[in-house]
Amino acid sequence: MARAELFPEIEPYETGYLAVEGGHSIYWEQIGAPHGRPALFLHGGPGAGAGAVHRRFFDPSHWRVVLFDQRGAGRSRPQGSIGTNTTPALLRDIEQLRDLLGIERWLLFGGSWGSTLGLSYAQAHPDRVTGLVLRGIFLGRPQELDWFLYGLAQIFPDAHAAFAGHLPEEERGDLLGGYLSRLTDPDPAIHLPASRAWSMYEGTCSTLLPTPATVLGFARDRAALGLARIEAHYFANRLFLPPAGLLAGMDRMARIPGEIVQGRYDMICPARSAFDLAACWRAAKLNVVPDAGHSALEPGIRRALVQAVERMRETH
């Protein structure tokens, strides 16, 4: 019978910090079997960070799982920093981490922005990737950014009103610019309320049904600042992706097997992107979860991700 739930809680068997360019120090950890099949967890955001629950998508008797907090996120230092923080820099960090740990090839697991970063890495280093398990596909296209900033008002008018309402009325025609100026202001009295407003907006729209605990998690100052500031920075720079976009580079990873898990009612990353990705990636299987939104922890998404990782056991 296919496993339906997360694996038990587990602590890392090794942790560390990796110094990378630009004065950043990247937190990383390993869990599971030290000699198991390598897998890399890529968190969302950008800026959200990895948490203890993310360790539980993997059978610890089979996988050697590496989790890390990307530049400025989670436990990485300096927290919330957007200096030298770009997608190409993150790809270099992943390669530096892979080299440090002596890993030749690994499975990539990522959702939302983690799917963007996973696709970017697989296209840059296809020989390093055994397979990908991706959730809540985000391709970083202009229409996807516009949907998050403005289109969500069609479905969550109340949440969007609170999001836009944090800015003076005269600035609401450019929500990203208005937020970015506040999120990068050195005064905590300015950047912390802005980060909470941005993060609570995202948290409110992340689940199929209202989930107050999720929203509260997004609202915590440390988590909110990393997520909101780094996310706005990346959005303002079109995610630092190639001008032609990620779909134009799918030929580089056409033979790599993939599992795409997508909530039918994902409002943060609507299903159109998952279908567009699957249409040009024949080696991937698309699983649309009919009763789920965006969050990896919604029951149907959680179950589908665990089962997808289990199916990836035999990829080479």
Q: Assess whether 185 carries a catalytic annotation.
A: no
For residue 251 the two structure tokens come to 């030929």
The answer to whether the CB of 311 falls within 8 A of the CB of 276 is no
In the block, residue with structure tokens 């989930």: 211
Catalytic residue among 24, 43, 166, 294: 294
Catalytic residue among 76, 112, 120, 273: 112
Q: Assess whether 112 carries a catalytic annotation.
A: yes
Catalytic residue among 69, 199, 266, 295: 266
Q: Assess whether 266 carries a catalytic annotation.
A: yes
Cα pseudo-dihedral 95, 120, 240, 145, rounded to 10: -140
**Would you please indicate which residues are annotated as catalytic (active-site) residues?**
112, 266, 294
